Amino acid sequence: MATTTRSGSARVPFVLLLALMILHKPAGLAQAFPYRSLLQTCQPNGSITGKSGKCNTQNDSECCKDGQRYTTFACSPRVTGSTLATLMVNSFAEGGDGGGAAACTGRFYNDSQKVAALSTGWFNGRSRCEKDIVIRASNGRSVRAMVVDECNSMKGCDEENNYEPPCPNNIVNGSPAVWDALGLNKDAGVAQITWSDA
Ligand SMILES: *[C@@H]1O[C@H](CO)[C@@H](O)[C@H](O)[C@H]1NC(C)=O
Ligand SMILES: *[C@@H]1O[C@H](CO)[C@@H](O)[C@H](O)[C@H]1NC(C)=O
Ligand SMILES: *[C@@H]1O[C@H](CO)[C@@H](O)[C@H](O)[C@H]1NC(C)=O
């Protein structure tokens, strides 16, 4: 009896398995289509035409060139507990390469203060204003920084943005204090990091 029961119950899962395989085949195929993953990632929103101006190049800022097209983004990659980003160095001090005063607070921050700016999608309509994020470097060090500004992925090539192109969609701008706390070389100016909401 026990044998019969076992073989009987074994037959049902096999039939179920077949049915499941047939049912899931279209989903499996759809997943393999490349456009599916493209639809899920952050796509460009449009572009703007470059205009040159008074661009502070002290820290190797990229300045807009007249007539060049620059891509804009309204979104950023999905935020996870460990979101991959490019860390750039940015001074939030008056006269620094950050351009105008911080969007969240309308003030400037000296280079000893641990503050950050996020690409438009991550800035998320000010929802992270004056909140801390944790930035982790690949050397294992991490730092808490307060979000005070937007790295605008929709606008650029104007005075407010130091006549720099629109921000890519995956940028964390860190003040010099952030770079120092992470033990990173500010002269490099760019580092791969991960970040999360604190
Ligand atoms: C660009 O972004 C704006 C604001 O989020 C949105 O209304 C518009 O539909 C977007 N356009 C494209 C082409 O993605
Ligand atoms: C350039 O970066 C240094 C720190 O690395 C900072 O003290 C200085 O204010 C920055 N200059 C500008 C114009 O942003
Ligand atoms: C930077 O600002 C902080 C907070 O306002 C202040 O405590 C600190 O003394 C300032 N540091 C410098 C070097 O100006």
> For residues 3 and 148, what is the distance between their CA atoms, to the nearest angstrom?
70
* Ligand 3, atom 4, residue with closest C-alpha: 113
pLDDT in tens, 55-113: 887 767 789 999 999 999 999 999 999 999 999 999 999 987 776 799 999 999 999 99
Q: Hey, what amino acid is at 181?
A: A
CA 110–ligand 3 middle distance (angstroms): 6
Q: What pLDDT does residue 161 have? A: 83
The CA-atom distances, in angstroms, between 124 and each of 34, 85, 88 are 27, 16, 19
Q: Rounded to a whole number, what is the distance in angstroms from the first to the last CA of the chain?
A: 60
How many A from CA of 112 to the centre of ligand 3?
6
The rounded distance, in Å, linking the Cα atoms of 143 and 150 is: 19
Q: CA–CA separation, 192 vs 106, rounded Å?
A: 28
Cα 80 to ligand 3 centroid, rounded to whole Å: 32
For the record, the structure tokens of 86 come out as 């490019």
pLDDT, average across residues 187-197? 96
